[in-house]
Amino acid sequence: MKLLGRLVLILLCLVALLLVGIRLRYGGGDANFEDRTSDPELPVRALQVVANLEFPPGNVAVSRDGRLFFTFHPEASPPVKVVEWVDGKPVPYPDADYQGEFQSVLSLRIDRQNRLWVLDNANHGTGEPRLIAFDLRTNEEVFRHDFPREIAGPGSHLNDFQIEPAGRRIYIADASILAKNPAIIVLDLERGTSRRVLEGHPSVVPELYIPVVQGREMVIFGLFAVRPGVDSIALDRRAEWLYFAPVTNNHLYRVHRRYLDDESLSAEGLAGHVEQFAIKTMSDGITTDLRGNVYLSDLEHSAILRLAPDGELHTVLKDPRIRWPDGLGFGPGGWLYVTCSALHEVIGKSADHIRSQSPYQIFRFQPGAEGIPGH
């Protein structure tokens, strides 16, 4: 019995040390990120409900001809990963059988070649992270790239991405929530090669703030602060600048695309071309319009903001129905779509609780400027 008691004591000590280690690595931070919203430009009636859903949506992409695609957020463990909204219902895309091919999908985009790209982070890199493309004319898979371990290993989190207009390169934000080694990945589609750049640079590493969303501090079991690395990522209308930032950073950064594509640049050389562009909100989703504005979600204040070319922030919409605005994407006709993942009602919650908070919404509104559908 004495031996058993000692073993139990040793086990408890090991568990305590493990919890302390998790708290030291992933916890801490300040829950007082500055509120940079103001009175909204648009009334709440400008916000139109596109879809009411049983599970929270992740990201959204709308084609030039108005086809609406989105993911169900993987944090909710949805039975279907990727869907098309058809006649008021979510239909598995490309079909029900293919859903087994997906592991953990969050982001999707449509390029100017009318291909739907789906990014699979493979459960934080524990599986096989990959990028898959479907031809929207045939709904057939036309491209697949499996990322090697040195590019997206265990603990990585391929979160969101952007495609340059010619469809030859893709820029991916590795938020690296668990490995805490965030970076931007540059994928060359013609050669089938990928590189990690800006790894560990201040522009991709989160500042130590704790998101507070509709009253909930996003600290799981008092140990793990939800604080991803580089997450927000968008190309401008000419695809010259890549804008990016972690969720909890005060600033939005940018770098000219020609430097990202220049493989001869050293890590220090590339870092020297990164610009601290402007003060931002606590952002998740991000996109750009044809006038040079950058749109940012504000997950703490249920708002969508516009960052003008001169760096000034304007609040476009603010409404408590916008629960954790996650994905932003333009469709035709000047409509800007936003998914509400409501992750404060999902992360660390039971399946019954998640269902009890439904329906989850996709909204759309017209911000007054057009963007490129699918982006």
Q: How many residues appear in the chain?
A: 375
pLDDT tens sequence across 241-255:
999 999 999 999 999
Q: What value does the mean pLDDT take over residues 44-61?
A: 98
Say which residue, 6 or 329, is predicted with more confidence.
329
Q: Are 138 and 150 in contact, with CB atoms under 8 Å apart?
A: no
pLDDT tens sequence across 249-306:
999 999 999 999 999 999 999 999 999 999 999 999 999 999 999 999 999 999 999 9
Q: Are 276 and 295 in contact, with CB atoms under 8 Å apart?
A: no
For the chain, which residues make up each domain, given as ranges?
1-30, 31-365
Residue-level pLDDT at 28:
86
Q: What value does the mean pLDDT take over residues 202-215?
A: 97
Residue-level pLDDT at 88:
96
- 348-351 long-range contacts (CB < 8 A, ≥24 apart) are 348/220, 348/221, 351/77
Residue-level pLDDT at 4:
64
How many other CB atoms are found less than 10 A from the CB of residue 216?
A: 13
pLDDT bracket for residue 3 (50, 70, 90): low
CA atoms within 13 A on the CB side of 147: 32
Record the pTM.
Answer: 0.95
Q: Are 292 and 236 in contact, with CB atoms under 8 Å apart?
A: yes
- Cα–Cα nearest to 173, from 145, 205, 148: 205
Place of tokens 């430009």: 41
Q: What value does the mean pLDDT take over residues 161-169?
A: 96
pLDDT tens sequence across 73-118:
999 999 999 999 999 999 999 999 999 999 999 999 999 999 999 9
Q: What CATH fold (topology level) applies to the domain 31-365?
A: Neuraminidase (2.120.10)
Q: What value does the mean pLDDT take over residues 166-172?
A: 96
Q: Determine what percent of the chain is predicted with pLDDT higher than 70.
A: 94
pLDDT higher than threshold 90 for residue 12: no
Average of per-residue pLDDT values in the chain: 95
pLDDT higher than threshold 90 for residue 23: no
What DSSP letter does each residue of 64-119 carry, written as one string?
TT--EEEEEPGGG--S--EEEEETTEEEESS-TGGGGG-SSEEEEEE-TTSEEEEE
- Cα–Cα nearest to 156, from 119, 190, 108: 119
Q: What value does the mean pLDDT take over residues 18-42?
A: 87
pLDDT higher than threshold 70 for residue 14: no
pLDDT bracket for residue 345 (50, 70, 90): very high
> Distance from CA of residue 316 to its chain's centroid?
20
Q: What value does the mean pLDDT take over residues 149-173?
A: 97
Say which residue, 27 or 37, is predicted with more confidence.
37
Q: What value does the mean pLDDT take over residues 342-360?
A: 96
Rounded Cα gap, residues 68 and 141, in angstroms: 18
Residue-level pLDDT at 27:
82
